[in-house]
Amino acid sequence: MAASGLDFEKQFEELERLIAELKKPEKRAEAAAQGIDLEAQVAQLEAELQRMLKKQYSLLTPWEKTLVARHKDRPYALDYIRMVFDDFLELYGDRLSGNDEAVVGGLAVLTGEPVVVIGQQKGRDLKERQRRNFGSAHPEGFRKALRLARLAQKFRKPLISLVDTPAAAADLAAEERGISEAIARNLKEFAVLKVPIVVVIIGEGGSGGALGMAIGDRVLMLEHSVYSVIPPEGCAAILWRDREKAPEAAKALNLTAQGALALGIIDEVLPEPVGGAHRDPAGAAATLKEALVRHLAALRHVPPDTLVASRLQRLRSIGFWTEA
């Protein structure tokens, strides 16, 4: 089930290949020689593909969204950083014990304004994935993020955080160096950071690992990203002792961006290009950039104490209970 979840992508990929083939100069020349109007045929195919993609992607189930959020071609934090910012100087290390490559960050310029950006980074190929631990940060990663957040605070620059992780690292090394403490400290410190923070879940918002870099004044999610207390596979294992029932678990957890918005936990869902961010990274980046600029403009002139007070109030108010 897990492997076949994105079967519909295959037909789209075939159609995309066909269109690319027909667009080649030699095909055009061939068609022109035979008096065929290839342009019109290509345009018709493209329109058909768009129509099919639009339909399919508007009907994605929570599990399909999970798979789209994990798609190997989906833009990662560094892809967005390259496309969104005018300039980026990456900084490394937590100043305590190491440099975790599952977390990236540094100084950037957003339409002329200096900002500090942090992000969770998966790898594109196997080697990079291993180097970045598949986007699962160790304590050093969370501590690097906190160090950069404090740098932003010291120099009064807004902070942008791009979240994309399956989960925090849960191996022996993570436990030895205090993964829980690192996440907990970030939750506490980001809650009272005296500069504007805009968080965007760009792919997978995997439980505590995501949350440890997701406290902000605005929390946004890309249309096909997910945010969950537990991976659907883990939830299925607990509920039904069967990881294959992940699709049902994804539905029960309501882990979509739309679900998070309905619960009032995030502020906005950012629309992705037709067929998902992986089909048009530049289009997704343009949407992201527009949203970042807009939200930072709204937050820029809020006094630091007001900013912190409303962030604390935002966190304080989350929950659904009844009082007798």
Partner 1 sequence: MPRGGWFAKRARSAQSMDSVPDGIATKCERCGAILFARDFERNLKVCSACGYHHRLTAPERIAITADEGSFQETHAGLTSQDPLAFPGYAAKLEQARASTGLNDAIVTGIAAIEGRSVVLGVADFRFIGGSMGSVVGEKIARAAEDAIERRLPLILFSASGGARMQEGLVALMQMAKTSAAIARLEQECIPFISVLTDPTTGGVFASYASLGDVVLAEPGATVGFAGRRVGNQDLGQRLPENFQTSEFQLEHGMVDRVVPRRELRPVLAKLVAFFQEGTDGR
Question: Which residues contact partner 1 by CB under 8 A?
Answer: 136, 166-172, 174-181, 183-185, 187-189, 191-192, 207-208, 211-212, 215, 227-231, 233-235, 237-239, 252-255, 259-260, 263, 265, 311-312, 315-316, 318-324
**Which helix (H) or strand (E) covers residue 165, if one does?**
strand 159-165
CB of 103 or CB of 215, closer to partner 1: 215
CB of 117 or CB of 214, closer to partner 1: 214
The amino acid at residue 251 is K
Least distance in angstroms from the C-beta of 69 to partner 1: 14
Question: With left for phi above 0 and alpha for psi between -120 and 50, is residue 186 left, alpha or beta?
Answer: alpha
CB contact at 8 A, 165 and 114: no
Instruction: Identify the CA nearest to 266 among candidates 235, 291, 234.
Output: 291
CB of 91 or CB of 261, closer to partner 1: 261
CB of 86 or CB of 175, closer to partner 1: 175
Least distance in angstroms from the C-beta of 266 to partner 1: 9
Cα–Cα–Cα angle for 99, 282, 229, rounded to 5 degrees: 55
Instruction: Identify the CA nearest to 247 among candidates 89, 99, 64.
Output: 64
User: How is 224-256 classified by DSSP, letter by letter?
Assistant: T-EEESS-HHHHHHHHHS-GGGHHHHHHHHT-B
- Number of neighbouring beta carbons within 10 Å of residue 221: 28
CB of 69 or CB of 107, closer to partner 1: 69
Residue 254 dihedral angles phi and psi, to the nearest 5°: 50, 50
Least distance in angstroms from the C-beta of 160 to partner 1: 18
Least distance in angstroms from the C-beta of 179 to partner 1: 5
CA 112 from centroid of its chain's CA atoms? 24
Least distance in angstroms from the C-beta of 82 to partner 1: 29
Q: How far apart are CA 97 and CA 139, in angstroms?
A: 9
Least distance in angstroms from the C-beta of 207 to partner 1: 6
Least distance in angstroms from the C-beta of 9 to partner 1: 23
Q: How far apart are CA 279 and CA 274, in angstroms?
A: 8
Least distance in angstroms from the C-beta of 323 to partner 1: 5
Say how many CA atoms lie within 13 Å of 185 toward its Cβ: 16
CB of 28 or CB of 194, closer to partner 1: 194
CB of 75 or CB of 231, closer to partner 1: 231
Residue 217 dihedral angles phi and psi, to the nearest 5°: -80, -25
Structure tokens belonging to residue 179 = 């993964």
CB contact at 8 A, 286 and 292: no
CB of 211 or CB of 307, closer to partner 1: 211
